[in-house]
Structure 1
Amino acid sequence: MIRVVRIASLVLALLLGGLWAFAWLGRSPNEPIADAFLRRIAALTGMEMPAPSAGGIQLAQGVALGGPFTLVDHTGRTVTDRDFAGRAVLLYFGYAYCPDVCPTELGTIAAALDAMGPAGERVTPVFITIDPERDTQAALADYVSRFHPRMVGLTGTPEQIAQAARAYRVYYAKVRPRDMGDYLMDHSSFIYFIGPDGRVRSLFRPETTPEAIAGAVAAQLRAL
């Protein structure tokens, strides 16, 4: 019995090792090896899983993100999700007092749009705060202007922000470090690419390069 288990374990290890090597050799440019491996597993099991887009995470079949929202932009205008219909969007949730990851990711979005050249004009960069208590209209107007001239900053009531965050499955929570008088916001950090039809097409992990985002978004825009 022990010998059978050992043989089965060896066969399984060899099979997984072969699949990993096959995934590594057949992956798309800039596709993470883990995503390519899962795609190969899905193909063997008959599951329908579209190939991840270069530089991003393609959503699996049946997974939907996004939904209706009503917020206020950095000019004081009421904005809903319908205002972005027919326009591609790169969306990020964060807050203006963020000391590190938020400015880094917003800078990445701006650099990706610049790297796309004229095609970047088809994409609207959007920043939704998860700290409406401090991120007022005036604060957002100053903040988004530091990154890109076309970036839209959105805020609202705590309830409106919570609704938008739930729609995109964004985690956030207020934290108050002992050695600081003011609070910080702990939050998830993904860049969302939303197609002109309002569907979230892919997610980009933190620290994805502007070049990878630009290539993935440009490729998807050509396919739309």
Structure 2
Amino acid sequence: MRYLFAALVVALGIALFALTFSIVNQREPDAAYGVPFALVDQDGAPITEAAFRGQPTALFFGFTHCPEICPTTLYELDGWFAQLGEEGADIDAYFVTIDPERDTPELLGDYVASVTDRVRGISGDPDAVREMARGFGVYFKRVELDDGDYTMDHTASIFLLDSAGAFRKTIAYGENPDTAVEKLRDLAGT
């Protein structure tokens, strides 16, 4: 009986995975990626998914208390844009917090501006931020620390969207810088 129950659980899991995989793969290849959202930028101005249309976009999800991945990614992205020069001038870039409880728009703006002027911060209502991140397929999880504070585990890739908002590729954390620049150059041409 136990084995039958275990077999049913496994079969149900496989069926659920197959259904999810099927739904995800039914998306049109050039359809806009993610979900509609209504948040605020680092200046407190409203921002929606429309910001990711009309020009290519680089999108990174992180948080200001991040000890390594987020500041490194912002620094590298700024350097890659500098390498591209005018060739990458039309790419918009955004840093979306996955810790909106701490990352107010003002704090996020100061954080991003301390590294680069090419990236805009996005924050907002915590539930709306989490819904947006999930809709973009971003993993994030609050991790409690022994001292009563917390950190966040999260996806560490930059999403590259074309001018229609369709997903094109990612730049992985720690990716070869020459490869990252080529990906941005390719994105600029879309």
Query: TM-score, normalising length from structure 2?
Result: 0.79
The equivalences for 1:92-131 within 5 A come to 92-131=60-99
Cα RMSD, aligned residues only: 1.8
> Contact 2:157/2:173 (CA < 8 Å) preserved in 1?
yes
The equivalences for 1:12-161 within 5 A come to 65-161=33-129
Amino acid at match of 2:144: R
Is 1:189 aligned with 2:151?
no
> Contact 1:109/1:125 (CA < 8 Å) preserved in 2?
no
Amino acid at match of 2:105: Q
Match of 1:197, SS? coil
| Deviation of 1:61 (Å) | 8.5
> Contact 2:80/2:181 (CA < 8 Å) preserved in 1?
yes
Aligned residues: 163
> Contact 1:94/1:187 (CA < 8 Å) preserved in 2?
yes
> Contact 1:111/1:210 (CA < 8 Å) preserved in 2?
no
Task: Identify unmatched segments of 5+ residues in structure 2.
Answer: 1-24
Instruction: Please say which of residues 122-131 and 77-86 is displaced more in the overlay.
Output: 77-86
Partner of 2:131: 163
Amino acid at match of 1:93: F
Amino acid at match of 1:213: A
Task: Identify unmatched segments of 5+ residues in structure 1.
Answer: 1-59
Match of 1:201, SS? strand
Partner of 2:141: 173
Runs of 4 or more, structure 1, over 4 Å off, are: 60-64
For 2:153 and 2:188, how far apart are their aligned partners in 1? 32
Match of 2:177 among 190, 196, 210: 210
Identity value in percent: 34
* Structure 1 residues 1-28: Cα deviation after superposition (integer angstroms, max 9, x where no partner): xxxxxxxxxxxxxxxxxxxxxxxxxxxx
Larger Rg, first or second structure (1 or 2): 1
